[in-house]
Amino acid sequence: MHLLQEPVNKLKFFHALVAGGVAGMVVDIALFPIDTVKTRLQSELGFWRAGGFRGIYKGLAPAAAGSAPTAALFFCTYECGKQFLSSVTQTKDSPYVHMAAASAAEVLACLIRVPVEIAKQRSQTLQGNKQSGLQILLRAYRTEGLKRGLYRGFGSTIMREIPFSLIQFPLWEYFKLQWTPLTGFDSTPFSVALCGAVAGGISAGLTTPLDVVKTRIMLAERESLNRRRSARRILHGIYLERGFSGLFAGFVPRVLWITLGGAFFFGFYDLTTRILGATSTDH
């Protein structure tokens, strides 16, 4: 039994690797302008001082370069973790398994995501001036080191990503399971995309304050108090300064971006997985 299971696991790993990479790159490139608007709305500088609608594609290069490996690493970990935990717990389609697998996947994916976000967001808010993403990262490393430079905001990113995934992935898996019983139609890439869009939009809206904190920490200048404040104090400071509107800055573009992104991402992921599955079956 173990010998029969091993090739299947390897094949699933490969499918997740390719499908996740393709889906991640498509989403990040297609919806990049919305992400830029969201980042500038959340910036401590304010939307217009951070660039307004100028240079809406600033930071695209590091985002495009990092999207495929980040998404691939996430989905490899998620699918393999889900399969492993399901076999250990002898359960199938358990939301707790989905939560645990998604949380582990987010932590690993952040090893790539955080430096990419540093380069991308500093470019988006014109802090990098005319520097490339690589130059921004090298400068961050030389002036601030590994922890405070390349991985500034690592903790706050995980603090955002894990709650996001704890909401999104169980919802996505649940919606997929309920699709056929409720609609009478078989699951297709379109239905998977629709489930991903709804799950992503809900998750994005609920975790917007955590996203604002992450952005503030990553963009904090040397003289900014946010360089020394905890995430809780930053949240409190934003609330005192701007109220709930400050905590939910960028809410509309974030929800729009992740709703559309969820549709693209999960739809392309499912489609690519089906194509790879059909190809491997033919051989």
pLDDT for 92 beyond 90 = no
**Among the residues of the chain, which ranges form H helices?**
2-30, 32-42, 60-89, 95-124, 133-145, 154-183, 189-206, 208-219, 231-247, 251-282
Q: What is the CATH number of the domain that holds 135?
A: 1.50.40.10
Of the candidates 148, 152, 99, the one whose C-alpha atom is nearest the C-alpha of residue 121 is: 152
User: How many domains does one find in the chain?
Assistant: 1
pLDDT grade for 13, boundaries at 50, 70 and 90: low
Q: Is 129 exposed, middle or buried (0-12, 13-18, 19+ CB in 10 A)?
A: exposed
Taking all residues of the chain, what is their mean pLDDT, rounded to a whole number?
84
Structure confidence at residue 49 (pLDDT)? 87
User: Looking at 2-16, 19-33, 113-127, 209-223, which range is the least confident one?
Assistant: 2-16
Q: Which domain holds residue 42?
A: 2-282
